Structure 1
Amino acid sequence: MFLSFRYIYTSLTNYHNMHYKGHILDKATQLKLYQQLLKPRLIEEKMLILLRQGKISKWFSGIGQEAISVGVTAALSDDDYILPMHRNLGVFTSRNMPLRRLFAQWQGKKSGYTKGRDRSFHFGAKEHKIVGMISHLGPQLGVADGIALANLLQKKQSVTAVFTGEGGTSEGDFHEALNLAAVWDLPVLFCIENNRYGLSTPAHEQYRCENLADKGVGYGIESHIVDGNNIIEVFDKVTQICREMRKTPRPVLIEFKTFRMRGHEEASGTKYVPQQLLEKWGKKDPLLNYEQYLIGEKILTPHLKETFRTQVTDEIEENLKEALAEDDVVFNEDTELKDVFKECDYQEYKPTGVRNKIRFVDAISQGLRQSMEKHRQLVIMGQDIADYGGVFKITEGFVDAFGKDRVRNTPICESAVVSLAMGLSINGMKAVVEMQFADFVSTGFNPIVNYLAKVHYRWGENADVVIRMPCGGGMGAGPFHSQTNEAWFTKTPGLKVVYPAFPFDAKGMLISAINDPNPVLFFEHKGLYRSSYQEVPVDYYSLPFGKAALLKEGEAITIVSYGLGVHWVLEALEQNPGISADVLDLRSLQPLDTKAIYSSVKKTGKLIILQEDSIFGGMASDISALVMENCFEYLDAPVKRVASLQTPIPFAKSLEENYLPKERFIKELLKLLAY
């Protein structure tokens, strides 16, 4: 495959007549662009040899498309962020990333950018202003929006460039990100590499518009079509556009017309591609055409050409030798677990001074407001949260206090907003996203569990993002506004999950969540918003995660719950004052206070766990398993789980009351006590 392809490239003499003239670039710039094109090409040719030798596991080739990566990167300033994809090796080399680390990355070595935890181009490097992709493609477009928003808020005249392929333009994230960038005038350069195939699916089976640039026009975005194989045209056009974007911030979309000369990845091959197409586009090779032009203009001599090739080849061989000599990465369980989260230097702010009796909803609002005052780089976003104050009025008055730059209404596009929050974090800011209802997080699920949760483990970047989750049943809101869906996230490494039951905890733990540099899902039960009152300090204070609250002490049984379930437990015990029970309010689910649970169970010998979520696969199941594994010899009875029915949550009052576990709990509690 490699040899036959190389033959197409080296045997052709009738190269495509590209229009390189008419520009004003000096000779030094033209030669630099040539060197930048040459380097990724020679690296790729070497990588394809290593692939056949089994020294790397997979390769996504950008041969024939280098002019896009190189031209765009060369047109940007070094302070501009760029979000590349599989075939953008030229971005990494043009930013002068050390080849030794790149080679180590592709071999899964420890000195690679992901320490062997991810492959190919799934990584980033803050020092080079490069943000790595994930296989799900779409979220990085929203991340670019967030980086660009941070630049605007910080008064930086910067451009953020993000790449996608023609296949990615069919994803919802693409449309959400374009719409959000258009509405907020974000200086994002959306770069579509239209290389005609998504793996084996040709373009005409992916979309019906004549040009992908038309999709930008549909969102009110300035759009252009550029010959992606012409390095001069790419560099000139992007330079001009970026100059204008810095003066007048706005999004711009460029469709780069090109062709994928090799398989989606090497194992997939190109048998599905007509030979005449390969031959046609082989004649448009961006490196060889440009090389021929430079020689014709006497800018590049045969001697200089060989000098450049020798220099790059020597650099490749030297760095590859070092990378190959590095030992394979050694597994260390402590290191693996430690790197899931960015280390959080918890700073305790003690609750002192005046206390007022306020509602749960007021405690959330206070914690959010005081965090906005403390963190000038904090932005909050969500549907209807600005002038309207949110559907629960938690942010009422916030626009007057902090302005619309920091209190931002969003379109209905949860995925793009979560991704945008990730971009804000990358660019030095903090973000709080309000899900109007926790149920709606499903449309933002992908960037939460695949980007925010994994980013620190993968390449050391953290997601300084809090997602507020108004949740829970009991109000007849039906299947789409009543879920308590914490179990969707407690099983995902890299996410912290907090679920307070009282106003005091809600305020202090929300403040801690915003201070924490890691992604936090913050659950707020809607049924508690205006029914739960407590004396809460007026001033700013924090509470730690992973510390359960022992609300009652007893000898006969341990009761564990969280959220509204805690109030059901307390109500049941008030109705049955003779029950001697330890009552543990978990408060945070990840991290989980297993020490407190084990200690209580070893004392009482019995455990019942109450959750509002449906019974299968929830927190109760995991706590039960942990206790059985670690405290079995102390148990005097089987661990009991009590939860909602294994059905969607219904609307009618009689159905909802029987779906929820409140009434079943007391029956099961008495049964377990009598065991």
Structure 2
Amino acid sequence: MKQLHYDRKNLSDQVLLELYKRLLKPRMVEEKMLILIRQGKVSKWFSGIGQEAISVGIVSALQPDEYVLPMHRNLAVFTSRDIPLHRLFSQWQGKANGFTKGRERSFHFGTQEYHIVGMISHLGPQMGVADGIALAHKLRQEKKITAVFTGEGGTSEGDFHEALNIASVWELPVLFVIENNGYGLSTPTNEQYRCEHLADRAKGYGMESHIIDGNNILDVYTQVQAIAQSMRENPRPVLIEFLTFRMRGHEEASGTKYVPQELMDMWEKKDPLENYRLYLKQIGVLSEAMDQQLREEFKKEIDKDWQVVQQEPEIVADLTTELADMYAPYQYEEVKPGGEVANIRLIDAISQGLMQSFERHDNLIIMGQDIAEYGGAFKVTDGFVDKFGKARIRNTPICESAVVSAAMGYSINGGKAIMEMQFGDFVSTGFNPIVNYLAKIHYRWNEKADVVVRMPCGGGTQAGPFHSQTNEAWFTKTPGLKVVYPAFPFDAKGLMNTAINDPNPVIFFEHKLLYRSIYQDVPKDYYTLAFGKASLLREGEQVSIVTFGAGVHWALEILDANPQIKADLIDLRTLQPLDTETVFNSVKKTNKVIILQEDSMFGGIASDLSAMIMENCFEYLDAPVKRVASIETAIPFVKALEEQYLPKGRFEQALKDLLAY
């Protein structure tokens, strides 16, 4: 066998032996898993055989409380952090003693206890999450780094490039780890990129990079150790491309038929475990007897812990637990407003709420495009830099996905984050981390997403298809998110303060047309308003009008123009949680209901609310539930076309038709 060249430098025998143990243990666990798969006792497995030295070397070079974000074939990260095998086995078998209550498989989980943050299948976001974790360390002036893994295939994703750019601009101590094993599932590297080395991609971001033999445990450990210590003293991102190979398929069922046999033979000779074992024997650190004893001890531990898990009961489905765990626990604390008020606009109320929340929460930051000195596209954060500094009021590059992910990472590492979409329409480029990461993380492994995403939205300003959407239905559909949509300054300030206090992800819609057109007396002091409480603005016996956002003001205008109509007018204020009790009680009183929304009809909140009313109030209805919404097109630019698109002009006649039914 062709051996790798090892240089022990000044490493003690004890360190050399510990590295061997950390290589051997995951290899033996994997060999056990491969047997169990053939026996039908394990359903799926992503093997890291052949590339364990990268995980072992990096974790060994990190401090125990430094976060590492691995992928699905980095078993050695978990074993090197000394997670008990029975807990890992429980996780893989979907038992309660795992980390996800049977809700996730393999390594799709994290654990604060061991400072590990697992991946999601959409690989890209974890790169930005690492940025956020590192940002929290940097702002607290802690000399810590964060290591995040990806494969050579993952470097093609936009999130990878966004995360590198943010880390470079903000000088974040993130160690970006590329495990280049030659294949993304079955696609070879020559079909994935044209640069000679993936490490060269760092040059475009002004970032330091290195190429390291990923099968040489001593090279990995010593070089990463030196780089990590340098990063702690001089915070900056570093990209390392590790050259390696996986000896099994992408996952066990995939096989390796697409790999030329001569390539398999070549990499087999570079096995990180076998080469290192021979080296330790040659220099007298490891004897055959010692090696055999280690293997017997690991085998006993593996077999014992596997048997423990076989005795664990199967997960029993409990509906109450499942529903409760979608959101992190939050006990709302009411802060009543003071007596002194000022007549201010909706935009001023939001700005005031943000500023007072920044004064109350030292760990609160806001990120977004042009929000610092410029004050944001709508000047909501104007003056914030002077008061709170650029460390907390952070301009971002134009990369919504990585910024949302960074907000998630900042929350993981103990912070509170607000992310401003310059326009709510732009959320589409940050959609994945919101609906697949923020929304699901507490359900998956009991971690909160203390993030507020601000969404300037809505039509009526002739801004066209990409600056006028109100896309709340994208998020009310997604369990795990809270959705807030105020229509008045008083509500906007109180609900914003609650959104920031709530440890769950909140999508906060701010209608641009209302920013400077709606005034109200608003308490000057800090106060909060509870989610899930609609506001009854008008009372009447003839009909219930249910709406939110700009629809509230359209309805008020129509009612003022038609004083003969006696209606309950309900402003929902929050769409998730939704105050169905107020709606149902009103419908039972008036026996007719009309729901008004600015978004187009199909699939909107009005459709679900209509269905709920039919299911819960059918016997009280004297007419079909009526929905009024925008037409089924994109929102146009020209004023005449936009007025035709929006439902305001159709609402009055629809209301009168319903009353005449």
Place the TM-score, normalised by the shorter chain, in its bin: over 0.9
- 2:177 alignment partner, SS class: strand
Residues of 1 paired with 2:41 and 2:333: CA distance?
Answer: 46
Q: Which residue of 1 aligns with 2:618?
A: 632
* TM-superposed deviation, 1:629: 1.1
The code of the aligned residue for 1:265 comes to E
Partners of 1:91 and 1:165 lie apart in 2 by: 15
Provide the residue aligned with 1:286 in structure 2: 272
CA distance in 1, matches of 2:8, 2:320: 60
Which residue pairs with 2:645 in the alignment? 659
Q: Is residue 566 of structure 1 aligned with residue 529 of structure 2?
A: no
State the Cα distance separating 1:99 from its structure 2 match.
1.0
2:258 aligned partner:
272
In structure 1, C-alpha distance between the alignment counterparts of 2:8 and 2:454, rounded to whole Å: 55
Name the counterpart of 1:211.
197
The equivalent of 2:361 in structure 1 is 375
Q: Separation in 2 of the partners of 1:354 and 1:421?
A: 35
- Could you tell me which residue of structure 2 aligns to residue 183 of structure 1? 169
**Separation in 1, partners of 2:594, 2:349:** 30
For residues 631 and 235 of structure 1, the distance between their equivalents in structure 2, rounded to whole angstroms, comes to 67
1:447 lines up with 2:433 in the alignment: yes
Give the deviation of 1:45 after TM superposition: 0.6
Q: Which of 347, 363, 369 does residue 349 from structure 2 map onto?
A: 363
Deviation at 1:600, TM superposition (A): 0.8
Question: Which amino acid is the alignment partner of residue 344 of structure 1?
Answer: Y
Amino acid across the alignment from 1:355:
V
1:349 is matched with 335
Deviation at 1:395, TM superposition (A): 0.5
Equivalent position to 1:157, from 143, 154, 163 = 143
Distance between the aligned counterparts of 1:532 and 1:51, measured in 2?
64
Q: Does 1:499 align with 2:485?
A: yes
Contact residue 6 and residue 219 of structure 2 kept, 8 A: yes
Tell me the amino acid that sits aligned with residue 52 of structure 1.
R
2:564 aligns to what? Answer: 578
Q: Tell me, in whole angstroms, the C-alpha distance in 2 between the residues paired with 1:48 and 1:18.
A: 27
Match of 1:329 among 310, 315, 321: 315
Partner SS state of residue 43, structure 2: coil
For 1:222 and 1:456, the matched residues in 2 are separated by 35
Q: 1:460 aligns with which of 446, 453, 461?
A: 446
Measured in 2, the distance between the counterparts of 1:386 and 1:353 equals: 32
5+ unaligned residues in a row in structure 1: which ranges? 1-13
Matched, 1:402 2:388: yes
Deviations 1:471-494 (A, max 9, x none): 000000000000000001000000
Paired with 2:610 and 2:376, the residues of 1 have a C-alpha distance of: 38
Question: For residue 256 of structure 1, what is the aligned residue in structure 2?
Answer: 242
Residues 1:521 and 2:507 are matched in the alignment: yes
Which residue, 47, 55, 64 being the options, matches 2:50? Answer: 64
Q: Which amino acid aligns with 2:237?
A: P
Amino acid aligned to 1:400: D
Structure 1 residues 490-541: Cα deviation after superposition (integer angstroms, max 9, x where no partner): 0000000000000000000000000000000000000000000000000000
CA offset at residue 468 of structure 1? Answer: 0.3
2:641 pairs with 1:641: no
Amino acid across the alignment from 1:599 = N
CA distance in 1, matches of 2:450, 2:43: 33
Bigger mean CA offset, 557-566 vs 629-638: 629-638
Tell me the secondary structure at the aligned position of residue 631 of structure 1: helix
Where do 1:124-203 residues align within 5 Å? 124-203=110-189
Kindly report which structure 2 residues correspond to 1:85-100, keeping only aligned pairs within 5 A, or say none: 85-100=71-86
- 2:21 counterpart letter in structure 1: Q
Of 438, 445, 453, 2:424 maps to: 438
Cα offset, 1:22, TM superposition? 5.0
Q: Is the alpha carbon distance of 1:76 and 1:83 closer, same or farther for their aligned partners in structure 2, counting shifts above 3 Å?
A: same
Report the alpha carbon displacement of residue 594 of structure 1 after superposing the two structures with TM.
Answer: 0.8
Alignment pair present for 1:591 and 2:608? no
Contact 2:337 2:527 in 1 (8 A): yes
**Counterpart-to-counterpart distance in 1, 2:207 and 2:43:** 40
In the alignment, the residues of structure 2 paired with residue 261 and residue 536 of structure 1 have an alpha-carbon distance, to the nearest angstrom, of 65
The alpha-carbon deviation at position 116 of structure 1 amounts to 0.5
- List per-residue Cα deviations over 1:6-65 (Å, max 9, x = no partner): xxxxxxxx2x32111252111000000000000100000111111122222111000000
Higher mean alpha-carbon deviation, 539-548 vs 627-636, is at 627-636
Aligned residue for 2:79, secondary structure, equals helix
Find the residue that maps to 2:569 and give its secondary structure.
strand
Greater shift, 623-632 or 447-456, is seen at 623-632
Matched, 1:223 2:209: yes
- 1:245 corresponds to which residue? 231
Distance 2:173 2:117 in 1: 16
- What SS does structure 1 have at the residue aligned with 2:332? coil
The answer to whether residue 447 in structure 2 is matched with residue 471 in structure 1 is no
Task: Output the CA distance in 2 between the equivalents of 1:111 and 1:552.
Answer: 53
Structure 1 Cα separation of the partners of residues 39 and 584 of structure 2: 52
The 2-side partners of 1:595 and 1:279 are apart by 68
- In structure 2, the partner of 1:338 is 324
CA distance in 1, matches of 2:578, 2:86: 40
What residue number does 2:528 align with? 542
CA distance in 1, matches of 2:3, 2:35: 31
Measure the CA separation in 2 of the matches of 1:62 and 1:110.
Answer: 25
* Cα distance between partner residues in 2 of 1:55 and 1:336: 26
What secondary structure sits across from 1:481 in the alignment? coil
Give the distance between the partners of 2:293 and 2:63, measured in 1 at CA: 28
The one-letter amino acid paired with 1:479 is P
8 Å contact from structure 2 (residues 3, 269) kept in 1 = no
What's the counterpart of residue 32 of structure 1? 18
- What's the TM-score, normalizing by structure 2? 1.00
Alpha-carbon distance in 2 for matches of 1:560, 1:32: 66
Moved more, 520-529 or 632-641: 632-641
Alignment partner of 1:102 out of 88, 100, 103: 88
Does residue 76 (structure 1) correspond to residue 66 (structure 2)? The answer is no
Contact 2:7 2:219 in 1 (8 A): no
| 1:202-223 CA-partner distances (Å, limit 9, x unpaired) | 0100000000000012211100
Against the structure 1 CA distance between its residues 41 and 22, is the aligned structure 2 distance closer, same or farther, given a 3 Å change threshold? closer
- Deviation, structure 1 residue 420: 0.2
Q: Alignment partner of 1:21: what SS?
A: coil
The partner residue of 2:415 within 426, 429, 449 is 429
Q: Which residue type is aligned with residue 425 of structure 2?
A: D
Which digits, 9 at most, give the CA deviation of each residue in 1:74-101, with x for residues without a partner? 0000011000001100000000011111
Counterpart of 2:597? 611
